[in-house]
Amino acid sequence: MAIGGAGLMSPSGPLLREFVFSLSARQRPRVLYLPTASGDAAEGIAAFYEAYPASRCHPNHLPLFVRKAEDLRPLILEQDVIFVGGGNTANMLAIWRLHGVDTLLKEAWEAGTIMCGSSAGSLCWFEAGITDSFGPQLAQLPDGLGFLAGSNCPHYDSEVLRRPVYRAAVESGFPPGLAAEDAVGLHFVDRAFHEAITAKPGGRAFRVECPGGEVSETAIPARYIG
């Protein structure tokens, strides 16, 4: 579930959480929060435990800036859901690779763990994406985890530069892919795109391609889950 943008405590948060939980076989799934992109910010971790209460799941988080677990494999592989928070995607990927988290995430995903996240937690699963990791003008990120083919662009309606920068990148040879507005989720089953869902009325997703050398943007119907 790649979510275009939605804060943990945003109005769309509970709807998106319950949709993700509906994909799990467990009534109270085990959920691991990865706050790496925000530098393990304490306020983000606190927001996670408020948004994912013990009454609905078994919440946990993995800090890497002050690492407490020597062996990360059991913690990551025992989860039903892994949620990746927003922030600096490039920094997050570099830190994951340094600690071997990228390899463990792939192992968990291939074993059936539900992977999800918003913003940085959306585009990290793809081969490439559009990021603000290097400054406010946005840039191309060519080295995502590559679990999903193509590229991704979150915040398609809330940040004015996202659409033109993504379209120009795809037109110049950047991998085509999917864009999502805030509160809109792109649901994949294995590596295949399944559907777009939205936690706000009228939320949209788009397929951005460049057939014949000219960029095109095709709206994807998004199912309202409210």
Known catalytic residues are: 119, 155
Residues 6 or more apart from 160 whose CB is under 8 A from it?
Answer: none
Alpha carbons 203 and 12: distance in angstroms, whole number: 11
- Contact (CB, 8 A) for 179 and 203: no
Long-range contacts of residues 157-162, Cβ cutoff 8 Å, at least 24 apart: 157/4, 157/181, 157/182, 157/204, 158/5, 158/182, 159/132, 161/137, 162/130, 162/138
β-pair partners for 128: 151
Helices (H), 52-177: 73-77, 89-99, 101-110, 120-123, 162-171
Instruction: Please name every residue paired with 217 in a beta bridge, in sequence order, or none if there are none.
Output: 208
DSSP 201: T
CA distance 117 to 97: 18
Return phi, psi of residue 132, to 5°: -105, 20
